[in-house]
Every structure is written in C-alpha cells, then in structure tokens.
C-alpha cells in the first residue's frame, strides 16, 4: 500500500512528475523549497531543545506523585522522547513516525495502564508530544538539497 502511495518508490507518472516540479518550484519561490543539511540539523536541534524545555515546564504538576510513580513516568516519557528522536536517526523513519505519533496520542492512557492509576500525567503532555512528533516528521520528510562537495 505504501509503495502504491509512492512513499518508497520514485516511480511517478509524467503528469505527477510535472505537478511535483511545479509545486517544488512554487515553494522555492517563497523560500519553502528544499532545505540544506545545515538547515535540517538546525531545525532538529531547535525542536529538540525547545520541546525538551517545554516538557520540563509541562511536568510541573507531578510534584504530588510519590518517587516511584514519578520515576515510572520519567521512564515512559524517556521512551516516548527517544521514539521521536529516532524519526530522524533511524533508517526505519516511517515506522518510527507512526509509532511515535500513536504513542504521543495515547501517552496519558498508556501511563495510566502501565502504572495502574488514573490521571497521573498533566493534560498538556499529549499536545506537547504530538506537536513535537508532527514537527519532527515535517522536518524529516521535507525535501533536502543534495550535499555539495566542498569547493576548493
């Protein structure tokens, strides 16, 4: 099915190729064309720093938890963050994108299930993880320029 959507192949009809070129050209005119390797790295670094800080802010409602509950939540949250980071670091980026998005969407319920308690994580954790995941997916799948050899 994914191959039929053209996600893993470069086989497109001539009409699709023309449309892609027109879209790419239009995006390039407004500065939204392919990004360089430096821009790609800057995007990921900025997202990771920003959302890491936001997670710290979002967790401010957890001081009422006992140490074990807090530790378990940190362990689960670390797993969610690692799955988001794997989107840009793994050759299985499509699978990690799907996994990270599903985990982000269901994170509060996942925590409740694993810890056998209800409403332990702040309600802002879900949108934080979802937006981080979606932004990482956008950056990862945005068209990139081919690396140019160093000029001498």
- 119/34 Cα distance (integer angstroms): 42
**What three-state secondary structure class fits 144?**
strand
The strand pairing partners of 144, in sequence order, are 35
Contact status, residue 125 vs residue 110, Cβ threshold 8 Å? no
Residue 7 in domain: no
Count of domains observed in the chain:
1
Per-residue pLDDT tens, the chain, 152 aa: give them.
444 444 444 444 666 567 666 666 665 555 566 777 778 788 788 888 888 888 888 888 788 888 898 889 999 999 999 999 999 888 998 999 999 999 999 999 999 999 888 888 888 999 999 999 999 998 888 877 776 555 55
Residue 75 in domain: yes
Residue 76 in domain: yes
Segment holding 98, helix H or strand E: helix 93-115
CA 29 to chain centre: 26
């Amino acid at each position: 099915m994914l191959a039929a959507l053209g996600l893993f192949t470069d086989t497109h009809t001539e009409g699709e190729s023309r449309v892609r070129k027109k879209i790419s050209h239009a995006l390039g005119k407004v500065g939204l064309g392919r990004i360089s390797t430096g821009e790609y790295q800057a995007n990921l670094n900025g997202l990771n720093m920003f959302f890491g800080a936001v997670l710290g802010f979002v967790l401010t409602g957890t001081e009422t938890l006992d140490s074990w509950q807090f530790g378990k939540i940190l362990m689960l949250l670390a797993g969610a963050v690692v799955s988001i980071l794997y989107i840009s670091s793994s050759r299985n980026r499509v699978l990690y994108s799907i996994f990270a998005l599903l985990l982000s969407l269901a994170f509060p319920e996942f925590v409740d299930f694993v810890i056998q308690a209800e409403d332990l994580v702040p309600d802002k954790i879900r949108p934080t993880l979802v937006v981080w995941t979606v932004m990482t997916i956008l950056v990862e799948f945005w068209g990139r320029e081919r690396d140019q050899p160093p000029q001498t």
